[in-house]
Amino acid sequence: MISIKTEKEIEYMREGGKKLAAIMNELEKAIRPGSSTLELDELAEKLILESGGTPSFKGYGAEGGKPFPGSICSSLNNEIVHGIPSAKVILKEGDIFKVDVGMKYKGFHTDMARTFPVGKLSVDAQKIADTVRETFYKGVESMKVGKKLNRYSKAAERYAKKNNFSVIQDLVGHGIGRKLHESPQIPNYYNRKACKFKLEPGMTFALEPMINAGTREIKMADDGWTFETADGKLSAHWENTVLVTEEGIEILTETS
């Protein structure tokens, strides 16, 4: 069942999305060689609480049977998503750093992720970071009221593959609202059996392409949370919470 948000609920999510985007902007300013991922996590939690929200991820139930300890997911280089912030993980020049952050505000969640450069990137690292961002926007450009959601999946996959990157199939986007993860699951590759329903105004989704420089295959790290590329090559991630409107797709977590 796909939830349709009321005008009041949309206003809560719109307000929360703006606040979350502002928090992501502040996190970006703090990303530099020598910073630990725990420092960034602590900053994120502070900013979320100051904004009147609560972290969506902290305490979230785990694949490994233990709650997620951070307010952000912090994933480096070949780590795809769900990296655990740590004082022992220090950013260094040339890393690509994925920050995924969610906030519950006035009873509704918004969720977003970015792939950031740490200092100057190699040509290959810069290309995958640029491509994942454009993969998101190419997918969104295909979405219209009355059209099937799987148009997003087809367009996102086409763009990533055109740029010689593989699209992860074991991790997906999702509906979002009162719950962090709502129906449906939204693949970033075309599956004719998935997301066949037509878009209606008031639907909200967290769309999040994840692409790899090598194989699309993934593996779980020993911590029971972090997903990594199976071949150790780079991965990139980009996510926004979006709203379907009669006029088009509104990105609720857009950063400047």
64 or 215, greater pLDDT = 215
Least confident stretch, 13-22, 65-74, 93-102? 65-74
**Nearest alpha-carbon partner for 252 in 215, 124, 243:** 243
pLDDT value of residue 83: 98
Q: What is the pLDDT of residues 197-210, one digit of tens each?
A: 999 999 999 999 99
pLDDT value of residue 255: 77
Give the model's confidence band at 189: pLDDT under 50 very low, under 70 low, under 90 confident, else very high. Answer: very high
CATH of 7-251, one of 1.10.10.10, 3.30.70.890, 3.30.360.30, 3.90.230.10: 3.90.230.10
Q: What is the pLDDT of residues 118-160, one digit of tens each?
A: 999 999 999 999 999 999 999 999 999 999 999 999 999 999 9
pLDDT value of residue 74: 98
168 or 65, greater pLDDT = 168
Give the model's confidence band at 256: pLDDT under 50 very low, under 70 low, under 90 confident, else very high. Answer: low
Q: How far apart are CA 116 and CA 125, in angstroms?
A: 10
pLDDT value of residue 64: 54
The answer to whether 95 and 74 are in contact (CB under 8 A) is no
Q: What is the value of pTM for the model shown?
A: 0.95
Q: How far apart are CA 142 and CA 140, in angstroms?
A: 5
Give the model's confidence band at 194: pLDDT under 50 very low, under 70 low, under 90 confident, else very high. Answer: confident
Q: What is the pLDDT of residues 18-38, one digit of tens each?
A: 999 999 999 999 999 999 999
Residues 11-16, mean pLDDT to the nearest whole number: 98
3 or 256, greater pLDDT = 3
pLDDT value of residue 148: 95
The answer to whether 199 and 207 are in contact (CB under 8 A) is no
pLDDT value of residue 32: 97
Phi, psi (5° rounding) for residue 21? -65, -40
Q: What is the pLDDT of residues 77-115, one digit of tens each?
A: 999 999 999 999 999 999 999 999 999 999 999 999 999
The answer to whether 208 and 188 are in contact (CB under 8 A) is yes
Question: What is the enclosing helix (H) or strand (E) of 248?
Answer: strand 248-251
Q: What is the pLDDT of residues 110-120, one digit of tens each?
A: 999 999 999 99
**Nearest alpha-carbon partner for 208 in 123, 110, 89:** 110
